[in-house]
Structure 1
């Protein structure tokens, strides 16, 4: 995964990568708009910069596999074994994390354990049912974007619902050509507009937003016991009168 992160870091610095990052930054901003919390973590895939606005959070961390110079606090860790206490985070961003994991379901499970009840999980991933997914099928690259998993958003949303997340958003975005040559980009730009209007499910990336739900707990003290305890004096007098008779 560290090799993938290094290759993706180089790709994010290309013009094509920068365009995608701008789209994803807007998606994350909308997903977090109006949310309140203190502890937010972004599981990074190589961008090495926060997609969220650090000043809006008391503690915003970036977690990666590699050392980097991110403009916010960062830690090294594994998405499949998060180094955080259970129910300690208010929000968790998975930026193409599942596309690089050996066990993506375990990563979602770890997210469910570390988020507090009502916490928000934001997942950004590559869409296999897109022109980018089609190119990845025929790519011979050994690392980087085209060696990502391209997991179906439907599959990931099933995992989220299984782990008690209420799905709030499921969207496709980024209707861009999978080719980085400037001449091709200009010629294929109109296809992206056509694709967005006629085939909106074929965006290059998907966004999933879920809120962690917790089943209601049964109160440990039975309600019927409250009245005798509060009226113990009256209850005592009633018992004594019955005994005297």
Structure 2
């Protein structure tokens, strides 16, 4: 049996370091997203929605949840959610593709999904392959970015922005994490695809409406119009 749960690991020095970076990447997108309902999924203590301008915000299956439910069946109406944040959820799922389909169902047209995941093509991915550690996160699926990109158009979602981060090796010593923090800037410049995690901003596709033909036309021709709009808790110590 695993000794460390996801909740415990995200409270560790390395987990806190990772969440601080992810918060900095996600927060500008959250602040720039508008609507009526925002949902955060996850099982750790951080509020990615604390700077959101959306009034109705709910946490799902967190340490202090507003709602508890199965990730496979979200308790929301179809096309009702404007923003959904799912950090490190897909890699914990038996069927991550099915969760993407369920998220597509509940998202509003043009609604946004933000996901984060561990990158298998990184120092973190190497450790997972070479170790026999049964603790989180090394016992989860590291889903490649190419696989995510393959799934998205099938379920009707489109990636509009993506970033990687956490280029440091996965060590738990807080003092060393501070010393090698400069690797983040170096990684962004020299090896941007080798970050320990990826953060993706995804949008629900909208196929538009059928064009309305003039009344004198005897035969209506359905012409689809396609549109695609492109649209702290933890901080690193100096």
1:69 aligns with 2:88: no
1:161 aligns with 2:159: no
Alignment length (residue pairs): 217
Aligned to 1:36: 34
Q: Give, in angstroms, the shift of residue 27 of structure 1.
A: 1.4
Q: Tell me the TM-score normalized by structure 2.
A: 0.81
State how 1:93-242 maps to structure 2 within 5 Å: 93-182=85-174, 185=177, 194-218=186-210, 222-224=213-215
Aligned to 2:79: 87
Can you give the 5+ residue segments of structure 1 that lack an aligned partner in the other structure? 227-245
The whole-number CA distance in structure 1 between the counterparts of 2:124 and 2:137 is 9
Give the number of the structure whose alpha-carbon radius of gyration is greater: 1
Aligned to 2:225: none
Aligned to 1:15: 13
**Could you say if the C-alpha distance between residues 223 and 190 of structure 1 is closer, same or farther in structure 2, counting changes exceeding 3 Å?**
closer
Aligned to 1:26: 24
Can you give the 5+ residue segments of structure 2 that lack an aligned partner in the other structure? 218-238
1:82-105 deviation line (CA, Å, top 9, x unaligned) = 111110100111110101000000
- Aligned with residue 51 of structure 1, among 48, 52, 55: 48
1:208 match: secondary structure: strand
1:113 match: secondary structure: helix
Larger helix proportion of the pair: 1
The whole-number CA distance in structure 2 between the counterparts of 1:189 and 1:165 is 34
Q: RMSD of the alignment, in Å?
A: 2.6
Q: Give, in angstroms, the shift of residue 133 of structure 1.
A: 0.9
The whole-number CA distance in structure 1 between the counterparts of 2:57 and 2:51 is 6
**RCO higher in structure (CA 8 A, sep ≥6):** 2
The whole-number CA distance in structure 2 between the counterparts of 1:174 and 1:191 is 8
Q: Give, in angstroms, the shift of residue 76 of structure 1.
A: 1.1
